[in-house]
Structure 1
Amino acid sequence: MSDPVPSWLAKGLVAPGAAHAGLAVARLAQQGLVSDAMLGKGGFALTSAAFANGEELDPSFTADEEDSVAPPLEWTAPPPGTVELVLLVEDPQAGALCHWAVWGLPGQRGKLLEGEAPPRVGKNGRGNSEWLLPAPPHGDAPHHYVFQLFALDLPLVLMPGATREDLVKAMSGHVTAVALLTGLYARAEDGDDDWDDDDAD
C-alpha cells in the first residue's frame, strides 16, 4: 500500500486523499526526491486562464464536447539554474491515470496556449501521445486532474513517445522545484460513452 501523502504536499493539493499518493509528485516525495522546500520554490507557480485551482474544467477540455483540446497554462519563472520543465497531468481517482506527459519546455517563465502542441509529448494512460480527454465515470464525485510542473537541473534526452514511468525515472534526483494546479470534473449520472477513465489499465 502506498505511503500517505506528506503533510507539506497535501497543502498544495485540493482535498487530498489516499488516492493522491499515486501521483508522480507524491511518489517522488515518498522516495525523498521531492521535498517541502521545492513546492513553489522562489514563487514558482502554475496557473490557467481557463480555471482557478480547485475549480471545474470547462467541458471544452474534456471528452464531453467535440473538438476538445488541452487547457491553456502559464507559469512563473522557475528557480535559477533550471534547465528544463516537465509537465505531468494525472487523475488520482483513476489510479493516477496519466492524461498528459510533456517535456522539453524551456527552463523559464512561459505558457502553453489552449490546444497548443508542446515540444515533446509522451504516452498518456491510453498509449497515445496527446492530451487524454477527461472522461470520469458518470455519476462519480468530481475527479481531480492534477497538473504537476517540475523544474529540472538538466535536459532530458527522452525520445517522443516515452511513458510516464520513463519520465519519472529520468527526473529522479534532478527536480529542483514543483508547482501544482488542480482542475475538477464530474459528469451527469446518465451516459452511454464507450469508455471512461476507470477503463484504463
Structure 2
Amino acid sequence: MGDLTLKSPAFDDGERIPETYGYTDANVNPPLEIDGVPDDAESLALIVDDPDAKEPAGKVWDHWVVWNVPPETATIPEDWDAADASEGTNDFGDHGYGGPNPPDTEHTYRFELYALDTTLELGPDADADDLESAIEGHVLAQTRLEGTYPA
C-alpha cells in the first residue's frame, strides 16, 4: 500500500536491535526515519509489538502504541518526547515506550507504521487493540520495520 517507508539508523530491517533499546537497559525508543507519507494523510500511527511473545506470554506483546503523529514527521529521534502526538498504554502497564524484553529466546519485534486519513480521538489508556479498531477504514498506507532482540 503506497510508498510509505520506515527505517532506523540504529538497525537494518530484520537485523538485531541494539541492547540499549531494551526494557532492562536504557529503555528508550530507537530512532526512526519516515518517508513516502501520502499527501492526503492527516496523521500517522505506530504500533511496536512482539508476535513471538504468544508462546511465553499467551498474547502478542505490545511495546509502544502511538497515534496522531503529525504527517510531516520525517524523524522520530531516540528517546522521543511525543509531545506532538499521543501515546497509549503498553503491555508492561506503562504509558509510552517499553523496550524489548524476551523471556526465553530471541524474538522479532515489529514496528508497524500507518498513514491515516484522519486524526483519532483516543484516551491515554488506549492500547493497541483500541488503536487497531480506531484506524480500521482509515489506513491510506502502511509499512513495517522488523528487528530481533536477544534473550
TM-score of the pair, normalised by structure 2: 0.90
Normalized per residue, the structure richer in helix is 1
Structure 1 residue 173 and structure 2 residue 132: aligned? no
Structure 1 residue 156 and structure 2 residue 83: aligned? no
Normalized per residue, the structure richer in strand is 2
Counterpart in the other structure of 1:48: 8
Cα deviation, residue 99, structure 1: 0.3
The AA in structure 1 aligned to 2:67 is W
C-alpha distance in structure 2 between counterparts of 1:76 and 1:87, whole Å? 14
Cα deviation, residue 117, structure 1: 1.9
Cα deviation, residue 109, structure 1: 4.5
**Consecutive unaligned residues in structure 2, runs of 5 or more:** 54-58
**Consecutive unaligned residues in structure 1, runs of 5 or more:** 1-37, 188-201
Greater Rg by CA: 1
Structure 1 residue 104 and structure 2 residue 68: aligned? yes
* Residues 82 and 108, structure 1, Cα contact 8 Å, conserved in 2: no
C-alpha distance in structure 2 between counterparts of 1:130 and 1:124, whole Å? 7
Structural mapping, 1:13-92, within 5 Å: 38=1, 41=2, 43-65=3-25, 67-92=26-51
* Residues 44 and 179, structure 1, Cα contact 8 Å, conserved in 2: yes
Two-structure CA RMSD over aligned residues (Å): 1.3
**Matched pairs, number:** 144
C-alpha distance in structure 1 between counterparts of 2:48 and 2:100, whole Å? 11
SS in 2 for 1:53: coil
C-alpha distance in structure 1 between counterparts of 2:42 and 2:128, whole Å? 20
* Residues 87 and 103, structure 1, Cα contact 8 Å, conserved in 2: yes
Counterpart in the other structure of 1:184: 148
Structure 1 residue 128 and structure 2 residue 94: aligned? yes
C-alpha distance in structure 1 between counterparts of 2:36 and 2:14, whole Å? 22
* Residues 76 and 108, structure 1, Cα contact 8 Å, conserved in 2: no
The AA in structure 1 aligned to 2:92 is R
C-alpha distance in structure 2 between counterparts of 1:100 and 1:180, whole Å? 14
Deviates more, 1:143-152 or 1:127-136: 127-136
Larger RCO of the pair (alpha carbons < 8 Å, separation 6+) = 2
* Residues 22 and 99, structure 2, Cα contact 8 Å, conserved in 1: yes
Q: Structure 1 residue runs of 4+, over 6 Å off? A: none
Cα deviation, residue 63, structure 1: 2.8
* Residues 150 and 176, structure 1, Cα contact 8 Å, conserved in 2: yes
